Amino acid sequence: MAENGIIRLLPEQVASQIAAGEVVERPASAVKELIENSLDAGARRLSLEVLGGGRALIALRDDGCGMSPADARLCLRRHATSKIHTLDDLNRLRSFGFRGEALASIASVSRLEVKTRQAQDACGVVIRALGGEVLESAECAMAPGTRVEARDLFFNTPARLKFLKSAATEQAAIIDCVQRLALANFEIGFTVTCDERLALDLPPTNALLERIRQLFGEDFARSLLAFEISTAEMTISGFASHSQLSFASARMIFTYVNQRSVRDRLLARSVSQAYAGLLPRGRYPGVILFVELPAHEVDVNVHPMKTEVRFRRSGAVFEAVYRVLRDRMANQIPHVPPLAAGQSPAKSEQQSAPTGLARNAFDQSTPSPLANFAFCAAAQTRSPDAQAKSGGLRLVVDSALPRYSEPHSSAGTFESKIAQGTSASTPPATLTRSEALVRYSELRLLGQFLAGYIVLEHDDGLLLVDQHAAHERVTFEKLRAELASGGVRVQARLVPEALELSRVGAGEVLGALPTLRALGFEVEPFGPRTIVVKGTPALFAPSEGLRLLKDLVEGVGEEGLAQNSASAFELKLKLIACHGSVRAGRALAEPEMRRLLEELDLAPFNTTCPHGRPTYIRFDLRQIERMFRR
Ligand code: ADP
Ligand code: MG
């Protein structure tokens, strides 16, 4: 047996360079580490200078606590950290850093200079290193704080260099990284210059929304809905864009766990599910989401760059995030300033539903003034009562109907607390935007446009409501509420009617009887291609119900008919709501429009139809005046 083995310990420098690859993948990852160090050092203002996309130079100056000369000499060593001493400390971690690897890694692949001074010291110290090897250290004059400068990144790792993208792309990644950090640290000032041009200038603020405005502009900030929920285990808060705004990519979704920016699949999935059905296909919302939970509930030590985390109870996190966002989405209110008091014609003409959060009022069983209204588009000239008796397309049948009480209605949520003004945790200043507690029915009705749109006036411009989309949402939510409380209400037919089917045999319908029953259709097979219909959903006129059944059976086809998963039910409800809702191209009388708007006010998710198309589009006066070049 040979004496000498083949295994050798790598020289420290080679080991460092290999390890550096994990931490410093590209210039933006070095920037992230440096900024996190400055934040950990308690800095209030940071300024970053970048040349050549970060390859030529990354320099970060902060006004943090600085380091003693001895610490400055140590800080470039691998596993040199002031932030933890034992593994146990990880469970109480309050800092971004803890591995003591960042400076060592950056140093090993660049020409590094650290200048630092503690406030109590008379002067600072400067350390220069090349490829991780300290070349010199000396006293220097400087204001308290730290400046770390990395030049010629990856000069000694040609393989890594080859993988870098263009300077413009690397620079964009740096900006993205600073934005992520700046969002979570809005009280800290940031400036970034790229190739000597000011790229970001973010003065310190005292509100997240203000930082959002600085970064992404007024329009985006205005599209946001605040949310916050606190349980014993976690706090979830942030802003989510109104469902009428969407983006082609997920780039406006920012997720944080304990203030740390993370890209987490679980959080991404909760967000996308919360918006399910509200955005057009392939579009993404803008969301700034903060999850705070005890340090021992989350493992931050699973990723070298710490951009991924592991939750101890991921199911609970998923559920809580989904729930708070979904509740918020269910109750978006159009951002329309209210008409001045007494100006609303809707109020004078009929008793309108209680103001404030409509659905709170609805969760009580007081009969609503809308309860007995019948919506009949066919016979506009007759009175609502006459229409109810004649049975047109009815929106609400009688006051005994269950109201829109989704199992997770907003009662007791953050939103309703705001409305009642009883929120214990003072909502962020931005929530004054819930002056937006305005409802479609309270805006001035100007009329109908091209038999497809309802035109409304608000103080600030015009609102066009798509009558089909609006009615579809109203119908869908009613059906869904009925389904949730035991099944869609059936109205028995006086005379059972035979219905001939073309695509699907009566045999297949037989297998789907319970599903059809839950959807409000009572049928029996009768011959190979014929069924007998004994009852249809009470929400629709009997003749309408017959047509809907046919559309449903034919539209869903054999395979889908019997499927009874929650999502299969939703699909069927959408189909029924779509086919059973007033079409564009139908003239509506004024009372019909008013009823529709009132019902829309009461429906959750009332800013989009069940397929995610908008129910209304808004034209601001400013916009209109611009078109007139005023
Ligand atoms: P970590 O952040 O994981 O501790 P780093 O390699 O990033 O490891 O930094 C090593 C140490 O250097 C830190 O623990 C901290 O004590 C010190 N340090 C780094 N940057 C700064 C800074 N900007 N201001 C003050 N101290 C710093
Ligand atoms: Mg660090």
Amino acid type, 306: K
Summarised one tens digit per residue, pLDDT across range 362-405 is: 222 222 222 222 222 222 223 333 333 333 222 222 222 223 33
pLDDT (0 to 100) of residue 2: 57
pLDDT surpasses 50 at 589 = yes
Q: Is 298 helix (H, G, I), strand (E, B) or coil?
A: strand
Q: How confident is the model at residue 438 (pLDDT cuts 50, 70, 90)?
A: low
pLDDT (0 to 100) of residue 336: 41
Whose CA is closest to atom 8 on ligand 1? 100
Q: How far is CA 268 from CA 191, 265, 329, in A?
A: 29, 5, 16
| Mean pLDDT within 620-627 | 87
Sign of CA dihedral 481, 415, 216, 170: negative
Q: How confident is the model at residue 78 (pLDDT cuts 50, 70, 90)?
A: confident
Token representation of residue 120: 């109590």
Whose CA is closest to atom 17 on ligand 1? 75
pLDDT (0 to 100) of residue 410: 34
Q: How far is CA 316 from CA 259, 276, 464, in A?
A: 19, 19, 40
**Mutual angle of helices 467-484 and 590-602, in 10-degree steps:** 50
Q: What percent of the chain clears pLDDT 90, i.e. is strictly above it?
A: 45
**Spatial distance between the Cα atoms of 607 and 605, rounded to a whole number of angstroms:** 6
Taking the centre of ligand 2 as the mean of its atom positions, its distance from the CA of residue 31, in whole angstroms, is: 11
Q: Do the beta carbons of residue 252 and residue 286 sit within 8 Å?
A: yes
pLDDT surpasses 50 at 130 = yes
Q: Do the beta carbons of residue 537 and residue 521 sit within 8 Å?
A: yes
**Spatial distance between the Cα atoms of 155 and 111, rounded to a whole number of angstroms:** 8
Token representation of residue 416: 């309703």
Q: Do the beta carbons of residue 448 and residue 465 sit within 8 Å?
A: no
Instruction: Quickly count: other Cβ atoms within 10 Å of residue 46's Cβ.
Output: 25
Own/partner contacts of 308-316, CB < 8 Å, gap of 24 or more, are 308/262, 308/263, 308/264, 309/257, 309/260, 309/262, 309/264, 311/266, 313/233, 314/266, 316/233, 316/234
99 lines ligand 1 (CB under 6 A): yes
Taking the centre of ligand 2 as the mean of its atom positions, its distance from the CA of residue 152, in whole angstroms, is: 20
Summarised one tens digit per residue, pLDDT across range 529-566 is: 888 999 999 999 888 898 899 888 877 766 677 777 87
- Considering 164-173, 291-300, 327-336, the range whose residues carry the highest mean pLDDT is 164-173
Q: Could you tell which of 74, 82, 300 is best to mutate to test the pocket of ligand 1, judged by most ligand atoms within 8 Å of the CB?
A: 82
383 vs 101: which has the higher pLDDT: 101
80 lines ligand 1 (CB under 6 A): yes
Taking the centre of ligand 2 as the mean of its atom positions, its distance from the CA of residue 30, in whole angstroms, is: 10
Taking the centre of ligand 1 as the mean of its atom positions, its distance from the CA of residue 524, in whole angstroms, is: 75
pLDDT (0 to 100) of residue 346: 34
Q: What is the separation of C-alpha 112 from the centre of its chain, rounded to a whole number of angstroms?
A: 40
Q: How far is CA 506 from CA 66, 388, 466, 524, 535, in A?
A: 80, 33, 37, 8, 17
Q: How confident is the model at residue 344 (pLDDT cuts 50, 70, 90)?
A: very low
Taking the centre of ligand 1 as the mean of its atom positions, its distance from the CA of residue 190, in whole angstroms, is: 19
pLDDT (0 to 100) of residue 174: 97
Who contacts 94 (Cβ-Cβ below 8 Å, separation ≥6)?
295
pTM over 0.85: no
Taking the centre of ligand 1 as the mean of its atom positions, its distance from the CA of residue 100, in whole angstroms, is: 7
Q: What percent of the chain clears pLDDT 70, i.e. is strictly above it?
A: 81
Instruction: Quickly count: other Cβ atoms within 10 Å of residue 265's Cβ.
Output: 9
Taking the centre of ligand 2 as the mean of its atom positions, its distance from the CA of residue 36, in whole angstroms, is: 6
pLDDT surpasses 60 at 254 = yes
Whose CA is closest to atom 27 on ligand 1? 37
286 vs 373: which has the higher pLDDT: 286
Q: How confident is the model at residue 34 (pLDDT cuts 50, 70, 90)?
A: very high
pLDDT surpasses 90 at 201 = yes
pLDDT (0 to 100) of residue 337: 37
Q: How confident is the model at residue 110 (pLDDT cuts 50, 70, 90)?
A: very high
Own/partner contacts of 190-194, CB < 8 Å, gap of 24 or more, are 190/45, 190/46, 190/47, 190/48, 191/46, 191/47, 191/48, 192/47, 192/48, 192/49, 192/50, 193/47, 193/48, 193/49, 193/50, 194/50, 194/51
Q: Mean pLDDT in the chain?
A: 79
Q: Do the beta carbons of residue 230 and residue 425 sit within 8 Å?
A: yes
Return the ligand number nearest the Cα of 108.
Answer: 1
**Spatial distance between the Cα atoms of 191 and 46, rounded to a whole number of angstroms:** 7
- State the virtual CA torsion across 458, 462, 466, 471 in degrees, nearest 10: 0
pLDDT surpasses 90 at 594 = yes
Nearest to 356 by CA among 411, 317, 306: 411
Q: Is 457 helix (H, G, I), strand (E, B) or coil?
A: strand
Taking the centre of ligand 2 as the mean of its atom positions, its distance from the CA of residue 514, in whole angstroms, is: 61
Which DSSP helix (H) or strand (E) runs through 214? helix 208-216
Q: How confident is the model at residue 333 (pLDDT cuts 50, 70, 90)?
A: low
Summarised one tens digit per residue, pLDDT across range 229-246 is: 998 889 999 999 988 888
Q: Do the beta carbons of residue 112 and residue 72 sit within 8 Å?
A: no
Whose CA is closest to atom 14 on ligand 1? 81
pLDDT (0 to 100) of residue 433: 29
DSSP string, 247-268: BSSGGGEEEEETTEE---HHHH
Q: How confident is the model at residue 186 (pLDDT cuts 50, 70, 90)?
A: very high
**Spatial distance between the Cα atoms of 466 and 456, rounded to a whole number of angstroms:** 11
Q: Could you tell which of 63, 103, 125 is best to mutate to test the pocket of ligand 1, judged by most ligand atoms within 8 Å of the CB?
A: 103
pLDDT (0 to 100) of residue 561: 78
Q: Could you tell which of 31, 62, 75, 306 is best to mutate to test the pocket of ligand 1, judged by most ligand atoms within 8 Å of the CB?
A: 75
Whose CA is closest to atom 21 on ligand 1? 37
82 lines ligand 1 (CB under 6 A): yes
Least confident of 166-180, 348-362, 455-469, 517-531: 348-362
Whose CA is closest to atom 18 on ligand 1? 37
Amino acid type, 179: Q
Token representation of residue 462: 């015009």
Q: What is the number of the ligand 1 atom nearest to the C-alpha of 96?
A: 2
pLDDT (0 to 100) of residue 282: 86
| Mean pLDDT within 202-215 | 95
pLDDT surpasses 50 at 143 = yes
pLDDT (0 to 100) of residue 366: 28
Summarised one tens digit per residue, pLDDT across range 502-517 is: 777 777 788 888 889 9
| Mean pLDDT within 279-301 | 90
Amino acid type, 543: S
Q: What is the number of the ligand 1 atom nearest to the C-alpha of 33?
A: 7
Residues in the chain: 630
pLDDT (0 to 100) of residue 428: 31
pLDDT (0 to 100) of residue 300: 81
pLDDT (0 to 100) of residue 20: 67
Q: Is 213 helix (H, G, I), strand (E, B) or coil?
A: helix
